[in-house]
Amino acid sequence: MKILLLGASGRLGRRLAPLLSARAELFAPSRDELDATDLKALRTYLKSKQVDRCISLVASTDVARCEKDVAYAWHNPRTAGAISLACKKTNVEFLHASSDYVVPLLLGHRV
């Protein structure tokens, strides 16, 4: 099995990567190596590596900035949506994990 782990350099990703690599062929590109918001690049990567599953831990964790800049806060759901679409179009199973902390901000509520 081939797994693409996005967000491998984050807190959860650093712990999950060794567990996954012991059980599957793991691809964990850095943000510089693969821009998860670039749908075309992501689809190309998924196809070229023949990925079976994609795990996304990609998220902005700058809550203070999200509280001040709602447009910035939309980064998390938009990125998750783009990755989901790329996986759907390439027939790759997709799992996304993230905090829901900024979601109330997007709905117009203070946290």
The pLDDT tens digits for 92-107 are 999 998 766 655 555 5
- 86: which residues sit within 8 A by CB, 6+ positions away? 39, 42, 43, 46, 92
The pTM (predicted TM-score) of the whole model is 0.85
Task: Give CA–CA dist 87/2, Å, rounded.
Answer: 13
Residue-wise pLDDT tens digits, 39-80: 999 999 999 999 999 999 988 888 888 778 878 878 888 889
Percent of the chain with pLDDT over 70: 88
Mean pLDDT of the chain: 88
Residue 87 has pLDDT above 70, yes or no: yes
- Cα 40–Cα 20–Cα 5 angle in degrees, nearest 5: 20
Q: What is the pLDDT of residue 85?
A: 94
Q: What is the pLDDT of residue 96?
A: 92
